[in-house]
Chains A and B, each alone.
Chain A
Amino acid sequence: MDRWFLIAATTLAAVAGVRGLLILRHGNKSLWTVWWMIAALLCQMGYLVIRGEMRGACPLRSIGEISVYLAWALTLFYLLVGPMYRISLLGVFTAPVVVLFQGFALLPGRLAANPEKILNTSPWGETHSAMSVLAYGALALAAVAGVMFLVLDRQLKEHHLKSGLFRNLPPVRELLVSLERLLWIGMILLTIGLVAGLLMPHGDGAWAHLIAAVSVWAGYLALMAVKRIRGITGRRFALGAVALFILSLGVFAFV
């Protein structure tokens, strides 16, 4: 049953992305994108509830489960902060990333049909997992905003201003402000997750994961510090957010 919810959520996100893109090509805004994404979120939550019941804990024990949780966090942040952007357009950029993460989870062998029940859970461990992946949702959305900025920046620099995409993209300054806010939210959540990770009981094998997580955290901190103290061009800031997010996914290799 959990898999069906996930398939439904993936299909709904794919519809949101494809339909939004087609409408965008004609220079219009898709007012339905947000509703498709809300429906996708409800299906994701259906999956999480069933999977959580099966695990007896937060379903974050395999790379497949982490991918779905990440897609859920990304959708949630999109729906929470979307009104700051042109909501339908952000949805068009967000939906493919959601499809990518969930599509990855749906690959054979990523989600066990009968997952092992977790008997001894640690509150610090649960906090670490939930907060960290939630942080990744915010950071993923920051990367999406970064891509939107890079597209707009290129169009403005090269005077390619005829497309429907250009007309519907939010202004440069708004994108940069939203990008910075999302990075701050992600950083705060990631810090909580990291502290919880240090406090949770862990074996020797967890050090590689911890070092990778601290490196990601330090990378984002450096980017934010440069932006605040010295200043940085919008293009480098956006590229930094996108690159750091892609690199940060490597942390899950140590899960």
Chain B
Amino acid sequence: MELVCLGLNHKTAPVEVRERFAVGNTKLGEAARSLLETAGAAEGVVVSTCNRTEFYLAAEDAGEALRRLEDGLAEKVHGHMEPFYLHRKADAVRHLCKVVSGLDSMLLGETEIFGQVKQAYQAAHEAGATGPILNKLFQKVFGIGKKVRTQTSIQEGSTSIGNVAVELAEKIFGHLKDSEVMVLGAGEMSRLTAKALVSRGAKSVIVANRTHERALELAAEMNGRAVRFDDWLPVLKDVDVVISSTGAPHTVIHAKDIESVRRARKYRPLFLIDIAVPRDIEHAVGEIEEVYLYDIDALEQLADEARARRSQQIAECEKIIEAELVKLF
């Protein structure tokens, strides 16, 4: 019995090609059954995410199974099979290990892929498409994936501005369930950053925007409330985090504004995120003792550093995978 992986991902195929092979979460089991019929294989699993679709097969005659599978797929790419990559035997296992460890992901070290592969295997297992070979292989690979993630720093640090902001907010306030967030300027970046904070449990969101209707829309999306742009200062005494991205050509938040509410805030810590260019928050604001001010460059730099740190971990991760593969074969 030979193991084979045929697939395509964000590195080999553009989204318009990937989407032709995408399989919804609820149809993964069905897709695995259909894979067995198409390829005439003994066992099969279909992994499908927004960045990849991969077919894992175990077959007595792997060459024949591959030929039949490629025939089935060729129609969707008009016979051009270049976006597909092929891994056989130990290479296929190595590739799967890299996938579950996040080494093959668009966002290096991301954690979601582990759950997605697990879900794909579970669906195939429940559909009766797996057997002793793939059952043993996937269980072993999940163990290796966990080992890679716990013994290296491949998933440490935040690699997007929104997540860096969340990480810093948690470093300042701990659990965000007691933290109120104010968004100044209802642009896309503010929306994403506020959404990241809300997803981590931020208590409430208050939105102020020059166009009040837009503030109302964003507030509704976040289950928060909107205030008129001229009324943001009195609100400041109650909030813990401010995300500012107004698009104004001049600074909007000045040191004197913060000074005016310090007493009312009882000098509690205040986290200011300035993602506007030109900047919304006067530099002197960062010199106020209880204020932690981060602009877009600082956040971007932190995300870059985390990406660099993760890249430095690739060799370490591969070393663990190779050591585990030696034990496996």
Contact = CB atoms under 8 A, between A and B. Distances in A.
Contact of A172 (B156, B269, B301, B302): B269
Interface stretch (A30-38, A39-47, A156-164): A156-164
Given A156-B292, A159-B294, A161-B302, A231 B268 contact: yes
B267 A173 contact: no
B136 interface: no
A95 B173 CA distance: 27
A233 B172 contact: no
Interface in B169-216: 170-174
A27 B173 CA distance: 21
A162 B265 contact: no
Given A159-B298, A236-B289, A231 B266 contact: yes
A171 B305 contact: no
B119 interface: no
Contacts of A235: 289-290
A170 B289 contact: no
A171 B174 contact: yes
B289 A173 contact: no
Contact of B267 (A172, A174, A231): A231
Nearest to B175: A171
A171 B268 contact: no
B153 A172 contact: no
Contacts of A22: none
Contact of B292 (A157, A230, A236): A157
B263 interface: yes
A52 interface: no
Q: How large is the interface on A (under 10, 10 to 19, 20 to 34, 35 or more residues)?
A: 20 to 34
A176 B173 CA distance: 10
Given A156-B292, A159-B294, A162-B305, A233 B173 contact: no
A232 B262 CA distance: 10
Contacts, number: 52
Nearest to A175: B174
Interface string A217-238: 0000000000000111111100
Given A156-B292, A233-B289, A173 B298 contact: no
A87 to B, nearest CB: 16
Contacts of B265: 231
Interface residues of B, number: 23
Interface in B224-277: 263, 265-269
Contact of B173 (A157, A161, A172, A230): A172
A27 B153 contact: yes
A167 B305 CA distance: 14
B122 to A, nearest CB: 33
Given A156-B171, A170-B174, A174-B174, A234 B290 contact: yes
B267 A171 contact: no
A167 B167 CA distance: 10
Interface string B41-75: 00000000000000000000000000000000000
A232 B269 contact: no
A134 B153 CA distance: 41
A231 B263 contact: yes
B289 A230 contact: no
A70 B95 CA distance: 58
Given A161-B302, A162-B305, A231-B266, A173 B173 contact: yes
A234 B153 CA distance: 32
A230 B290 contact: no
B267 A232 contact: yes
Q: Which of B153, B171, B298 has the most CB of A within 10 A?
A: B171
Residue from the set A27, A230, A231, A235 with the largest chain B CB neighbour count within 10 Å? A231
Nearest to B170: A171
B290 A233 contact: yes
Interface string A114-138: 0000000000000000000000000
Interface in A158-194: 159, 161-162, 166-167, 169-174, 176
A172 B171 contact: yes
A157 B168 CA distance: 11
Contacts of A230: 263, 266
Interface of B: 153, 156, 168, 170-174, 263, 265-269, 286, 289-290, 292, 294, 298, 301-302, 305
Interface of A: 27, 152, 156-157, 159, 161-162, 166-167, 169-174, 176, 230-236
10 contacts: A27-B153, A152-B171, A157-B292, A162-B305, A170-B174, A171-B170, A171-B172, A173-B172, A231-B265, A234-B269
Given A167-B156, A234-B267, 15 more contacts: A156-B172, A156-B292, A159-B302, A161-B302, A169-B171, A171-B170, A172-B172, A172-B269, A173-B172, A173-B173, A231-B265, A231-B267, A231-B268, A233-B289, A234-B269
